[in-house]
Structure 1
């Protein structure tokens, strides 16, 4: 049964690679079509940014290669590796939906679609990718000599110090919060709408800061004795992102005038579109952080239960006077 499951997972990953390659080819062809040939409405078009497609394909190819090498090396921990592969495929697919699907084109016309795009990256794709443990699997995609050199490079004191600093709960929380609040300031947000380079920087900072944040919560560095910090990070993030979403929802006026024209062209009120975008950040995103905090708390309690529930007759030494 396990052999059949492994074969099915290998077939599915091969299909994903082929599908992604086909999408990349289709995207390359779409760029050479004239405007008349691309007669579909903008919100129904797949964007296919070449560098985004390339990065997605490279990440998927490295993960599949590393996964197959790990499976061939040892049968131990196969169930864990299958779960990690599933998490990676789901996270990878979420990034495709957020960055290359018609949602990306629609985000230029609707603020609410832009918020859905950001939340897919930060509260769906990022935690799934963290749970898939991609760094170790990617490393196994390389030949032994290259793998040893990469491992030696990342074990240098300078790199280890930088990595531990960035993954510290307080630092990861601060970077993620700063990215969220800074990029939703009207001037920076509208600058991202006006410039593809700034827009790319915005998305990169959202995704990278979210990956650091979720690594501090779910990553290998999140030791059992740090579950309290993880829950605190999740609850406080739920609070401040909910506050930002509430401000957007309850604001009496528009924060981002650049959306007035494209949103009105679709027959949608720009203020209502902003309110819907605020609700996306306020409710679903807040619920995701809450569920993650509850799961972290449950994990913490399970690990602490044996010591706290130990019978007193075993925990305490016998009375010498009895």
Structure 2
């Protein structure tokens, strides 16, 4: 009841102000990630030679993913997500199917590491190669493990008690966003990373993820019951009934969300089918199947 009362909007008063901004630690994390990446690329640039074009392409992917992440976390979309389920779904989709794959394609670990001072870089390098950490990282980035973590995070957080708790508590809400973003990064790393699975398994992971995310969206879109009454009358300020808001959010997860996995699958197919060009002789040969 307190959550419903706090979300209640008196008809005719209009929506609460929707402004840019976020908690200081969110903004600090966004700025630090961008500055470290830029510093790392600047340090590597003189050493790259013919590899500069590839690094520029990765930097473009990272920049696009960073902008999507900033739009999800620090734009008016964030406060709107506390009033409107459909806006909340747009926010989650930006994190999981836009920002996450673009950040993975940006390969940020190398530039981030080079962006650190030399002494810190050596310490981080030793920590990364510490056996317990290396074993844990290999375990969670295996395609099946990453798929299961992503699946569990999505379905568990959409359970009504947890989802409504996130609406009422900013700390829980932050954990919810982290639980969507980082498992999505693991999933896309497992599929798009340099050591991703063979074409068949990768397509299977994409297809099954499209199916279970689409099923969750369909449950929202086709339901005649409001799952999250904690939104109260918030949707009315945007001209939507609570059930219409929920159905619109479900359609966003179901249709555009599913289409993103189809596009990713088609892009992977094109990459696998394209011949590999020998940069020394200029000849081409069939792609052996690794991304």
Structure 2-normalised TM-score? 0.87
Contact 2:153/2:180 (<8 A) preserved: yes
Is 1:241 matched up with 2:213?
yes
Alpha-carbon deviation of 1:307? 7.9
Q: Deviations over 1:70-108 (max 9, x none)?
A: 102232311111011111111111111111110101111
Equivalence for 2:51: 77
Larger relative contact order (Cα-Cα within 8 Å, sequence gap ≥ 6): 2
Q: Deviations over 1:174-220 (max 9, x none)?
A: 00010111111111110110111110110001000000000001112
Alpha-carbon deviation of 1:303? 6.0
Is 1:124 matched up with 2:104?
no
> Which one has the largest radius of gyration?
1
Contact 1:47/1:105 (<8 A) preserved: no
Is there any run of 5+ residues in structure 2 with no aligned partner, and where?
Answer: 1-13, 277-284
Is 1:210 matched up with 2:184?
yes
Q: 1:128 to 1:43 in 2, by over 3 A?
A: farther
Instruction: Find 2:151's aligned residue among 172, 177, 189.
Output: 177
Contact 1:122/1:210 (<8 A) preserved: yes
Structure 1-normalised TM-score? 0.79
Q: Within 5 A, what are the aligned runs for 1:241-320? A: 241-302=213-274, 306=286
Alpha-carbon deviation of 1:263? 1.5
Q: 1:186 to 1:74 in 2, by over 3 A?
A: same
Q: Distance in 1 between the 2:127 and 2:199 partners?
A: 30
Is there any run of 5+ residues in structure 1 with no aligned partner, and where?
Answer: 1-39, 309-322
Q: Distance in 2 between the 1:153 and 1:303 partners?
A: 38
Equivalence for 2:89: 115
Alpha-carbon deviation of 1:153? 1.7
Is 1:89 matched up with 2:63?
yes
RMSD, aligned α-carbons: 1.8
- Which structure is higher in helix share? 1
Alpha-carbon deviation of 1:43? 4.8
Q: 1:77 to 1:286 in 2, by over 3 A?
A: same
Contact 1:43/1:103 (<8 A) preserved: no
Instruction: Find 2:41's aligned residue among 67, 74, 79.
Output: 67
SS at match of 2:234: helix
